[in-house]
C-alpha cells in the first residue's frame, strides 16, 4: 500500500487484487474527490483490514469502502463483513463482473450492501461518480460518530474487567483491551495516575481516566444516552431485545413519542448470538450484534429515544398515566408501557461456580472472550439453539469444544440446521446425559468435575472456559403485585387473564384485556417475558409490532 494514513480527511478505501484495476479505481477517485478526501488503496482483504485498523487507531473516519468481489484468500463480501465491525457507518460498494451480479445481490443481506458496481465503470462521470456522490451525501447525513478508541486496563481474570468489556462491546463502543501487567497497560496506568489496585481503569478518547467506573458513569463518558429528553411519552418500552426494538421501531415510525430503556445494552440474548441463521430475510445468517445495531439505528432514525443503564424497579398507575420508577429514584411517565424485559440464563448450581463467575465461568456467549479461547479447550453447557450457536462459533478458533447436555440427545431442543453444523465440526464433541457437579480454581477456572447421569461416574477435566446456556428466567420480579404472573414469573396477558368469563381482579375497563395487555390496563407485554410465548427472534419482533397496534387501540379507547 503506497498511501500515507496520516491526515484528517474522510477516507475512501478501495481494495482489488488486480494492481491495474486497483490503481485505476484509486486514480478516478482521487481525480474527483482527492481535494477533500483521502484515497487509500489496498491489493488484498487482509491488507485493507490492516489499513482500517491503523485508521481506527488514528481516530479518522472512513466514508466509503469499494471492494472487488473476486479476491483470493478473502472475498469482497468477507472483507466488507469484517470491515463493518470497524466502521459500521461506512458506505459499502462491491465491484463485480457481469457474471457476479448474483453474488452482489446476496451481499445486500450479508453486509447491508449500499451498491454494486459493474466493471468496467467507464466513463466514471456516468457510472462511478454519481454513485459515490450519493453515498457520500448519505454518509454525511448519517449517524457517523467518529470511531474512537477507548482503552480498558485490567486483569485477565477480573470479573469487573470482563463486565466493562462486555458492556462496551454490546453497546458497539470500540475499545482496546490492555493487561495491567504488560508494558502498555502499565504505561496507561502511570499516565492516568492510577495505582493499579483499583481496576479496571477506562481511558476514553480525549478525557480523564475512569477508575473502576459504574456502568452509568461509563455510559455517560463514552457518549451513550442515559437521560430522557422529556418526562412524558406516548409509550415507554422497557427492555431492548428484539421485542423491545421491534416495538420502538413500529411505535416511533407511526408517530408515537417513544422511549426505550435498557439496563445494559440493546439486543438482549439475541444481541449476544454469534450467528442467527433462521431469521427471515437473512439467508446467509446475521450476527446478533449486526441485527441489533440495524434495529437500534432504525428506531432512532424514526425518532425513538434509546436510553441505557436504566434499571426499572417499579410500575404504577396514576389516573390515565403509567409511571416507571428506576433504581436511581427517577421516573418516566407515559400513556402506555410495553414490557419487553426478556429473560436471562439460569445460574448453574454447583460448588465453585458462583465464585468463578466471569473468571472463566460465563453465562451467555461472552463473545468478548472468544479471542482468549483460541487453541484452548472450551466447555459449553446446554442443548438448545443458543448453546449450539456458541459451540459452532467457538469451534472456529478453539482447540476443542465440548457440549455438556443433560438430555439424551439434541433433537428435542435444537434446530436441525444447527445439529447438522455441529456434526460437521470435527473439534466439537457432544456429551449427552452429562452434568457439571463442581468447579475448581484459585483466581480463575482450572478444572471441572463432570458426572455421567447414566453410570454415575465422575470425571475431572482441565479447562479454563465454561459457557452456560441452561433455560431462562424472566426479569419480572420488580412487577410482583402490579401485574399478574404465572408460577414461573412470566407475565400473563390477554385471554389468559379471563378465567371462566371473569376479568382479572381490579380490572376497570368495560372490555376484556387486549391480546398482549396485562392485568394493568395500558401496560402490554411482548417477547420472552410473556407467558407461553415462542422463544424465537421473529416471534419476539412480531410481539413488539402487535403490542404497538394494541397501544393505538388503547389510546383511542382506554
pLDDT, tens digit, for every residue of 65-88? 999 988 888 888 889 888 887 788
Identify the three-state secondary structure at position 423: helix
Q: Give Cα separations from 195 to 316, 381, 425 (angstroms).
A: 46, 38, 46
Read off the DSSP letter of residue 348: P
Question: pLDDT confidence of 148, banded at 50, 70, 90?
Answer: low
Q: Output the pLDDT for position 147.
A: 45
Lowest mean pLDDT among 30-34, 113-117, 244-248: 113-117
Query: Locate cell 435498557: which residue?
Result: 262
pLDDT, tens digit, for every residue of 441-496? 998 999 999 999 999 999 999 999 999 999 788 999 999 999 999 999 999 999 99
- Provide mean pLDDT across the span 192-221: 86
- Indicate if the pLDDT at residue 257 is higher than 90: yes
Question: pLDDT confidence of 553, banded at 50, 70, 90?
Answer: very high
- Indicate if the pLDDT at residue 1 is higher than 50: no
Identify the three-state secondary structure at position 436: strand
Strand partners, 339: 238, 525
Share of the chain above pLDDT 70, in %: 94
Q: Output the pLDDT for position 462.
A: 96
**More confident position, 439 or 365:** 439
Residue 32: which of 129, 173, 103, 142 has the closest Cα? 129
Tally the C-alpha atoms within 13 A of residue 284's C-alpha that lie toward its C-beta.
12
Q: Output the pLDDT for position 180.
A: 92
Contact 520, 513 (CB under 8 A): no
User: Which pairing describes strands 447-452 and 458-462: parallel, antiparallel, or unpaired?
Assistant: antiparallel
pLDDT, tens digit, for every residue of 157-200? 898 999 999 999 888 888 889 999 988 888 888 877 887 778 99
- Indicate if the pLDDT at residue 144 is higher than 70: no
Q: What is the mean pLDDT of the chain?
A: 89
- Indicate if the pLDDT at residue 369 is higher than 90: no
Residue 482: which of 525, 426, 514 has the closest Cα? 525
CB atoms within 10 A of CB 172: 19
Task: Detail the DSSP E strand segments found in 16-143.
Answer: 38-42, 62-68, 91-96, 115-118
Q: Output the pLDDT for position 4.
A: 36
Q: Which residues contact 99 (CB under 8 A, 6 or more apart)?
A: none
- Indicate if the pLDDT at residue 102 is higher than 70: no
Read off the DSSP letter of residue 407: S
Lowest mean pLDDT among 268-282, 320-334, 433-447: 268-282
Domains parsed from the chain with CATH numbers? 11-141 (3.40.50.2300), 150-221 (3.40.30.10), 232-344+473-556 (3.50.50.60), 354-470 (3.50.50.60)
Please give the span between the terminal C-alpha atoms of the chain, in angstroms, as a whole number: 65
The values of phi and psi at residue 47, to 5°, are -65, -40
Amino acid at each position: 500500500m503506497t498511501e500515507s494514513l496520516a491526515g484528517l480527511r474522510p477516507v475512501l478505501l478501495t481494495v482489488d487484487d488486480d494492481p491495474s484495476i486497483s490503481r485505476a479505481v484509486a486514480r478516478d477517485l482521487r481525480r474527483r474527490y482527492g481535494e477533500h478526501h483521502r484515497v487509500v488503496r489496498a491489493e488484498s482483504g487482509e491488507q485493507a483490514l490492516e489499513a482500517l485498523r491503523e485508521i481506527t487507531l488514528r481516530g479518522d473516519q472512513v466514508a466509503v469502502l469499494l471492494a472487488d468481489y473476486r479476491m483470493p484468500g478473502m472475498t469482497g463480501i468477507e472483507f466488507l463483513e469484517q470491515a463493518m465491525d470497524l466502521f459500521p457507518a461506512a458506505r459499502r460498494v462491491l465491484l463485480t463482473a457481469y457474471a457476479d451480479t448474483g453474488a452482489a445481490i446476496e451481499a445486500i443481506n450479508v453486509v447491508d450492501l449500499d451498491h454494486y458496481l459493474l466493471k468496467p465503470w467507464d466513463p466514471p462521470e456516468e457510472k462511478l461518480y454519481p454513485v459515490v456522490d450519493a453515498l457520500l451525501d448519505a454518509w454525511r447525513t448519517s449517524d457517523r460518530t467518529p470511531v474512537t478508541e477507548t482503552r480498558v486496563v485490567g486483569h485477565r481474570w477480573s470479573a469487573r474487567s470482563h463486565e466493562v468489556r462486555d458492556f462496551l462491546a454490546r453497546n458497539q463502543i470500540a475499545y482496546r483491551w490492555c493487561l495491567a501487567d504488560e508494558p502498555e497497560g502499565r504505561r496507561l496506568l502511570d499516565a492516568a495516575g492510577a495505582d493499579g489496585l483499583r481496576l479496571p481503569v477506562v481511558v476514553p478518547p480525549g478525557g480523564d481516566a475512569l477508575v473502576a467506573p459504574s456502568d452509568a458513569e461509563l455510559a455517560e463518558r463514552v457518549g451513550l444516552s442515559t437521560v430522557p429528553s422529556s418526562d412524558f411519552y406516548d409509550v415507554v418500552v422497557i427492555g431492548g431485545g428484539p421485542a423491545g426494538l421491534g416495538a420502538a421501531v413500529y411505535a416511533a415510525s407511526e408517530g408515537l413519542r417513544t422511549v426505550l430503556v435498557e439496563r445494559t445494552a440493546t439486543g438482549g440474548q439475541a444481541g449476544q448470538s454469534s450467528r442467527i441463521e433462521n431469521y427471515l430475510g437473512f439467508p446467509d445468517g446475521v450476527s446478533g450484534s449486526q441485527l441489533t445495531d440495524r434495529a437500534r439505528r432504525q428506531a432512532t432514525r424514526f425518532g425513538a429515544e434509546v436510553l441505557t443503564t436504566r434499571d426499572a424497579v417499579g410500575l404504577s398507575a396514576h389516573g390515565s398515566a403509567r409511571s416507571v420508577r428506576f433504581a436511581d429514584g427517577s421516573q418516566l411517565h407515559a400513556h402506555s408501557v410495553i414490557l419487553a424485559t426478556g429473560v436471562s440464563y439460569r445460574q448453574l448450581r454447583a460448588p465453585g461456580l458462583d465464585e468463578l463467575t466471569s473468571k472463566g465461568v460465563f453465562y451467555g456467549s461472552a463473545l468478548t472472550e472468544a479471542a482468549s479461547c483460541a487453541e484452548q479447550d472450551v466447555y459449553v453447557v446446554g442443548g438448545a439453539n443458543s448453546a449450539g450457536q456458541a459451540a459452532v462459533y467457538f469451534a472456529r478458533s478453539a482447540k476443542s469444544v465440548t457440549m455438556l447436555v443433560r438430555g439424551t440427545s439434541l433433537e428435542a431442543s435444537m434446530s436441525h440446521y444447527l445439529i447438522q453444523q455441529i456434526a460437521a465440526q470435527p473439534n466439537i464433541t457432544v456429551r449427552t446425559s452429562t452434568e457439571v457437579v463442581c468447579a475448581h480454581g484459585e483466581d480463575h477456572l482450572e478444572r471441572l468435575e463432570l458426572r455421567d447421569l447414566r453410570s454415575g461416574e465422575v470425571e475431572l477435566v482441565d479447562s479454563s472456559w465454561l459457557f452456560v446456556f441452561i433455560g431462562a428466567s424472566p426479569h419480572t420480579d420488580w412487577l410482583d403485585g402490579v401485574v399478574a404472573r404465572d408460577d414461573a414469573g412470566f407475565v400473563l396477558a390477554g385471554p389468559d387473564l379471563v378465567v371462566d368469563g371473569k376479568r382479572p381482579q381490579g380490572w376497570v375497563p368495560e372490555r376484556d384485556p387486549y391480546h398482549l395487555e396485562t392485568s394493568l390496563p395500558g401496560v402490554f407485554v411482548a417477547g420472552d417475558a410473556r407467558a407461553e410465548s415462542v422463544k424465537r427472534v421473529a416471534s419476539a419482533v412480531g410481539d413488539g409490532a402487535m403490542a404497538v397496534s394494541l397501544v393505538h387501540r388503547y389510546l383511542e379507547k382506554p
